[in-house]
Structure 1
Amino acid sequence: MASQTTHYLILPGWQGSPQEHWQSHWQRSLPNAGRVEQANWERPEPRAWVAALQREVAAARGPLILVAHSLGCVTLARWAAQAPQAALLKVRGALLVAPADVERDNCPEALRGFAPIARQPLPFPSLLVGSDSDPAASAERALQLARDWGSEAVILPGAGHINVKSGHRRWEQGFAYLYRLQRRIERQRLQRA
């Protein structure tokens, strides 16, 4: 029988999350945390990125909370729109941080293959944290993606892309959003019981 201990699966975005990135800090800090590794972080290919996520979810031995950043959010949405039901049932929820708008006019060429963004509601609870100064997605766009995905949304003032460049190395305050998501997951579980 699979363990009921929650595992955290980190989904970095384009170019990965270096050691000083908050996702790497969280991976070292959270119990039972792993990461989706991609074969090519510089030239992302949608099918390969979705397949890597599917492999990690399929291999998981317990329930998962996905923690995605930037292109990782778009990959997660694409995966969820086509994933087998057995894989979807393993996911308890997702924290979506600074999703990249791969449909924007100034989107880097390397990311354009991820358009169009999957717009189906996610089949598990999710919380999207965006910023009103993110060059990868405007606050309005982040809010639209949250509506499309059925996510609760929080827009932080002046937080940039919520990465190392914007000063978010350890991002300890981000744990508050993870705990908020976990409380929501637990409330829903109790309501269904």
Structure 2
Amino acid sequence: MKISEAEIVLLTGYGDTAKGHWMFRWQEKMANASVLELKNRFHPELKVWRDTLVARVEDATKPVVLVGHSLGCILIAHAIHNLPKDKVRGAFLVAPSDWDRENLVPGFDGGAFKPIPRAPFPFKAHLVASRNDPYCDYAVAEGLAKAWGAGFQDAGEAGHINAESGHGPWPEGMMSFALFMKRLG
């Protein structure tokens, strides 16, 4: 599948996402990509976020490919049974955060985002994980990929794969995403 044939919905994670983050750069480079506006970024409510995602997918006029980072990956896992079955073609997941871990984010217990669903995704998925992500142990990310039926990619020691870890443009990620899109055929 060509990138231009889909609506690319980008889902950021918990808290503020720096403007230099690769997701915003991807939005600028791809005319058919948009970052989903999610409310209460420091106190997210699963139902509100899930309903926002479902409404966005329902409004799509082309097949949808979801791109999640951190809590955005976990949101996708929680939403799979609510998403229109004929609209989502795939999910590209980057650096999922482990909300089952105690005190992952001081001051927010993870709310309804835990436990993390382990049901297989009903569409193709690919997960990129870092060996030194402070928000998710590598083995946990690998286990999530296996449970979700996702392809798995070792990003090496890349931190949380965000602007703070030096991944503003993240050209390797764009190349990996392009290969994933090609596999969606």
Identify the TM-score tier after normalising by the shorter chain: over 0.9
SS at match of 1:147: helix
Structure 1 alignment gaps of length 5 or more: 187-193
* Equivalent residue, structure 1, for 2:177: 178
* Equivalent residue, structure 2, for 1:160: 159
* Equivalent residue, structure 2, for 1:24: 24
Structure 2 CA distance for partners of 1:111 and 1:70, relative to 1, 3 Å: farther
- Aligned-partner residue type, residue 183 of structure 1: K
- Aligned-partner residue type, residue 67 of structure 1: V
Paired residues for 1:136-151 under 5 Å: 136-151=135-150
**What are the Cα deviations for residues 75-111 of structure 1, in whole angstroms up to 9, with x where unaligned?**
001000x215xx1321111100000100012311425
* Equivalent residue, structure 2, for 1:189: none
- Aligned-partner residue type, residue 131 of structure 1: S
Task: Indicate which of 108, 119, 126 corresponds to 1:110.
Answer: 108
- Distance in structure 2 (CA, Å) of the matches to 1:21 and 1:88: 30
Paired residues for 1:78-89 under 5 Å: 78-80=78-80, 82-84=81-83, 87-89=84-86
Structure 2 CA distance for partners of 1:14 and 1:173, relative to 1, 3 Å: same
* Equivalent residue, structure 2, for 1:94: 91
SS at match of 2:66: strand
Structure 2 CA distance for partners of 1:185 and 1:60, relative to 1, 3 Å: same
Q: Tell whether the 8 Å contact from 1:13 to 1:70 is kept in structure 2 after alignment.
A: yes
Q: Tell whether the 8 Å contact from 2:102 to 2:109 is kept in structure 1 after alignment.
A: no
- Aligned-partner residue type, residue 71 of structure 2: L
Q: Tell whether the 8 Å contact from 1:125 to 1:181 is kept in structure 2 after alignment.
A: no
- Distance in structure 1 (CA, Å) of the matches to 2:109 and 2:46: 9
User: 125-134 or 43-52, which moves further after superposition?
Assistant: 43-52
* Equivalent residue, structure 1, for 2:59: 59
**What are the Cα deviations for residues 99-144 of structure 1, in whole angstroms up to 9, with x where unaligned?**
0100012311425111011111111111000000001111100000
- Aligned-partner residue type, residue 92 of structure 1: R
- Distance in structure 1 (CA, Å) of the matches to 2:184 and 2:154: 21
- Aligned-partner residue type, residue 110 of structure 2: R
- Distance in structure 2 (CA, Å) of the matches to 1:17 and 1:33: 17
Structure 2 CA distance for partners of 1:111 and 1:38, relative to 1, 3 Å: farther
RMSD: 1.4
Q: Tell whether the 8 Å contact from 1:70 to 1:100 is kept in structure 2 after alignment.
A: yes
Q: Tell whether the 8 Å contact from 2:103 to 2:109 is kept in structure 1 after alignment.
A: no
Q: Tell whether the 8 Å contact from 2:23 to 2:35 is kept in structure 1 after alignment.
A: no
- Aligned-partner residue type, residue 126 of structure 2: L
Q: CA deviation at 1:40?
A: 1.1
- Aligned-partner residue type, residue 57 of structure 1: V
Q: Tell whether the 8 Å contact from 1:8 to 1:66 is kept in structure 2 after alignment.
A: yes
- Distance in structure 2 (CA, Å) of the matches to 1:19 and 1:135: 21
Q: 4+ residue stretches of structure 1 with deviation over 4 A? A: none
